[in-house]
Every structure is written in C-alpha cells, then in structure tokens.
Amino acid sequence: MPPSLVNLTIDGRKVAVRKGTTILEAARQVGSHVPHYCYHPGLSSPAMCRLCLVEVEGASKPMPSCVTTVQEGQVVRVNSEEAVGHREGVLEFYLVNHPLDCPICDMSGECDLQDYVHYGGRERGRSQEPKRVFGRDDFGGDVLFYGDRCVMCTRCVRFMSEVEGDERLTVVERGDRAVIDTFFEEGLEGTNWHGNIVDICPVGALLSKDFLHKARAWDLEHSPSVCTSCSQGCNVELHVRDNLVQRIKPRENLAVNGWWMCDHGRHNYEWMNRGGRLQEPYARVRSSSTGNGSSANGSSGNGSSPNGAGRSSWSATLSRVRDALIAARGGAGTLAVASPFLSNEDLAALVRLVDALGGGRVVYRSRRAPDENVLKGFPQLARRRDLAPNTTGLGLMGAKRVGDDDGAGGLDRVAGHDGVVIVVGDALHDQMDDFAASASAFIYAGSHAPPSARSAHALLPVTTFAEQEGSFTNLDGRVQRFSPALIPPGSARPPWFVLGALAASMDGGEMARSTAEAFAALSASSPAFAGLDFEALLEGGAMAKTEPARGEGR
C-alpha cells in the first residue's frame, strides 16, 4: 500500500484514503453523508456551522469533520448516538433564530436546514422567546438578502473573496448581531459571478431577484444541459415549469466549470421561452425557379393560399423541397449558412445534405466579445470571447466563419447566389428582405421566420437546443450532451431530423431515427468524433480528437 494512504474506520467500515483528506470527504467516499452547511468542496472550510460534528474515538470532544484530517488507525462514528445527539443540539440552536417561513421561502424544497430538521430535528421546538429580526436587504445585482434566515455559514463571503476574487461581502458585527453585508451601500453591482452565492447558500438567506416567488422548487423539472452563452460549455440544468425555462443552475463538472457559472449565462434564458415560433412547415413553389417542382403545388389539398404559399404536412413539404432541390442541384453549387447554436448532429446532417447536393460551402457567423472574463479563483472557467456554444464543432466539420465580431455581414456571396441556398438557425438579422431572391432553391430552417427569409421556397420549423437532444463541442474540444427540457411548439422537429430526412431521400442512405443514431453516423463519418459513445457523454463529456482551438478564435 502506498505510504500516502491513511487507513481508518468510519462507521465500522475500513477505508484507505489519501493523506490530508478530511473526515467529511472520507465519509463521503464510504457513503456516509455528514450533514454540513459551511463546508463546500470548492471553498475553504472554516468550521463555522458545527453541523458536521462526528465522534472520533479517543478525542475528548466531538470533532468538526470538515476541518479534521484523517489519522492512521482513527475510528470515526458518524451516526453513533453521541454524534447524532451533538448534531441535534446544533440544529436546535439554529432554529432558535431561523424563521419557520418555509411556506413563503424560495429555498423551500431544496433547503438543507429543512432537510436536516426533517430527518434529525426535534419534533417540537422548546424556544419561548421571540426570534431576532434583521429584515431584508437588496445586495444589488440579482441578490436579495433575508437576514433572518441566515445561518452564518459564510459560504457567500468565502465565495466572493476566494473564488470571485472581489471581497464585497463580509460579516458585520458579532455574536447574535452578526449579519452578512457589503460596505454600506456598495452592494454587488459590477461583479459578474455573484449569482453563485445564491446557489451555495444552504438556506433561503440569499435569493435571486429574477426567480423570486416565481415557482416552488419541487414544481421544477430539471434537465441536464449545456450553457449556450459562450464556447466554455458550462454544464447547467434547465429548470422548467409550464413548458417555460424558469431559471438555469450550474451542474458540477470539474473539468469545465466546477460548481460555478457566470451571471450572464444564468440569466440568458428568456429567448428559449420566446413565442411567435415557426410552427408548421411552409413550402412555396415558384415555377420560375423550380421547373418541374410545381407538380406538388395544390395537390396535397391542405390549405394552399392564393399567393402560392401553403401549409402542408412534413412529408408533403419535404417531398416538395426534395424535388425543388433535385431540380436546382448542380449548376452554381450549394451555399449553406449554419448557426453556431446547432448541435454536432444537426451540423452533420447539414453537411450530409450539402454533400448530397453535389458539395458546396458551409459558413457560419458568430458574435465575439471583446474580452474574456475569467473567474479568478477558478481560472479554467471564463466567459469566453466566442459567444456561441458550438463554434468548435462547426470548425471540425469544415464550416468557415464569416462576418464580423457582431455576428453580422459576410453573407454577400450567399445573398446573391443563384444555386441552392440553405440557411439553418441563422436569424439573418442584418440581411435585406430580398436575401437569396435569385437562388434556384432557398430553404430556410429555423425557430422563427425572419423577414429576410421572405423569398425562401420553404420554411421548415426546427427546435431550439432547449427542445431537443444533442451535443456541443466546447472550445477545448470537449463534446458534451444536452437533454430536451421543453416540448417543441407545433410540428417543429430537430434540425438533424429534418435535414437528415432530406439528405437520406437524396443520397439513398439510412436516415437517423434518434439522436443516438445521428451521433453514431457523425462519429462514423468524422474522424474527430470517432470512438465517442453518445450514452457516456451526458456525465462530464468526452474530448473530440482535435487540437484545442485556444487562441485567436476563442
């Protein structure tokens, strides 16, 4: 056995852990949960809360397990009568001043104090005295402070000084008057990561103003996902109720974002809930551009309008689109505009469709921030310059970046192209209304129908990343999976499904029927993604075979 290991017994189980491990972490390794507030794996341990007291044989008093390191031959009892008794006593002390306002507290349902009292507290309080009252304070930014609920674990103070590197919070006064505060009216304004203190607050003392009284924690569906606000690819959870994203919380992944995420990513979810969606596929056939493609016009009989645009079913629309594409292929070739918000699978389907049309170019536009915003205490995490989740994946599949740092311009060649034009996801926000009017076939697939898609021969409703399954490749080349959180509107389908169906009908190959199949096709065709297992990607992701794209483009 290597000398760096220490043998000890926890709750009767023998365990060997690395030297320097704390009892709390060792207990976690053998599956004994030690209740705690102030301990957080990403922060230092001050032994403030005294809730992690355990019995150590030979020690004259109960030991705070979050700061006590393991010793050779130690015998620890986490769940002995004595240890549990100590913790019950500590819990009772907490409830002397903690208000029992769970029915109106936003943390209710995910509050550690609530859980611990439920499992190990007294049935009835003995306290006769009135509780002290601190009231509330607006800390600025997105944080509201409810002083009465604070248990003085100081996680927020330590986060701001150790991780954020901007010591805005402190403990003011002492004893039972102690309270968390900033420098008078200074507040948290101007800091970029302070949303994390709401996450790590074990009770409802720090609350998000954005989420205040919006939903109860137990009403929310949690979908593991990946943040789309920049190319860092932070692991997040989308919390959904009523088919609306209510908030975004970080999900632990030490290789990417630790336990943290930036405030911008946290509050960048309104667009996922945006209405006015493209709901049904539309196909318009212009006889001048498609020749024999007009045969389908009116034959499906479901609501053709006088101007030639008509709602139709997916199968009818896709067969019309396919006919139009077949008629238009060859000639001037294909130009495709992709969005860097498309998943790897979506892109693979687009590339396959372009290949089926005889080859062409795929370009994308992406916004870039002037600077990176690095989290000082966790420098592998930053808000990256590249403000889209999958620019690395696009690069790996041969798409070229065009346009400027605002994600505008660069499409002049596409706008005047007289071959096939396919736009997927890009909102064309800076383009003229007659975009690609001269194209022999112009297919627009997106979540909304922008004015610039007016001359499109077909409008295909596709899902956003929040409504589908798939994977993104972050700037390090890490391929990470996201899960569907919302039910897509109308007949919107994932881009890989729509484009894959078109491509399969043209090249005669197999059509992917699930995201896993789409990913399998991708890893079979692209060497960068070879050997990756889609099922295994959900936890932590896996590296694509690529040189990390750090540097100019990130």
Residues that bind another protein (CB under 8 A): 161, 166-174, 181-184, 186
In 242-333, DSSP assigns E strands to 244-250, 282-284, 309-311
Enclosing H/E stretch for 266: helix 263-266
3-state helix, strand, coil in the chain (%, to 5): 25, 20, 50
Q: Nearest approach, Cβ of 257 to another protein (angstroms)?
A: 25
Is 173 or 371 the residue whose CB approaches another protein more closely?
173
| Distance in Å, CB of 121 to another protein, minimum | 31
- CB 155, min distance to another protein, A: 16
Residue 552's Cα: distance from chain center in Å? 24
C-beta contacts of 536-541 below 8 A and 24+ residues apart? 537/471, 537/479, 537/480, 537/481, 538/224, 538/481, 538/483, 540/235, 540/253, 540/255, 540/480, 541/233, 541/253, 541/255, 541/256, 541/471, 541/474, 541/478, 541/479, 541/480, 541/481
| CB 261 within 8 Å of CB 285 | no
Instruction: Output the smallest distance, CB 167 to another protein, in A.
Output: 4
Q: Phi-psi category of 83—alpha, beta or left, where left has phi over 0 and alpha has psi -120 to 50?
A: alpha
Smallest gap from Cβ 160 to another protein, in A, equals: 8
State the nearest-atom distance from the C-beta of 173 to another protein, in Å. 5
Q: Which is nearer to another protein, 165 or 410 (CB)?
A: 165
Smallest gap from Cβ 455 to another protein, in A, equals 58
Rank residues 142 and 164 by Cβ distance to another protein and give the closer one.
Answer: 164
- Helix residue ranges, H only, 376-468: 391-396, 412-415
> Which strand (E) or helix (H) includes residue 148?
none
Separation of alpha carbons 515 and 497, rounded Å? 8
SS3 501: helix
State in angstroms the smallest separation of the CB of 170 from another protein. Answer: 3
Closer Cβ to another protein, 179 or 544, answer by number: 179
Q: Toward another protein, which CB reaches closer, 72 or 173?
A: 173
Enter the tokens of residue 333: 């070739």
Whichever of 167 and 219 has its CB closer to another protein, that residue is: 167
Q: What minimum distance in Å lies between the beta carbon of 143 and another protein? A: 14
Distance, CA of 542 to CA of 539 (rounded, Å) = 9
By beta-carbon proximity to another protein, the closer residue of 190 and 303 is 190
Give the C-alpha separation, 208 to 146, whole Å: 11
Task: State the Cα–Cα distance between residues 515 and 498, nearest whole angstrom.
Answer: 12
Q: Which residue lies nearer to another protein by CB, 168 or 554?
A: 168
Output 168 or 277, the one with its CB closest to another protein. 168
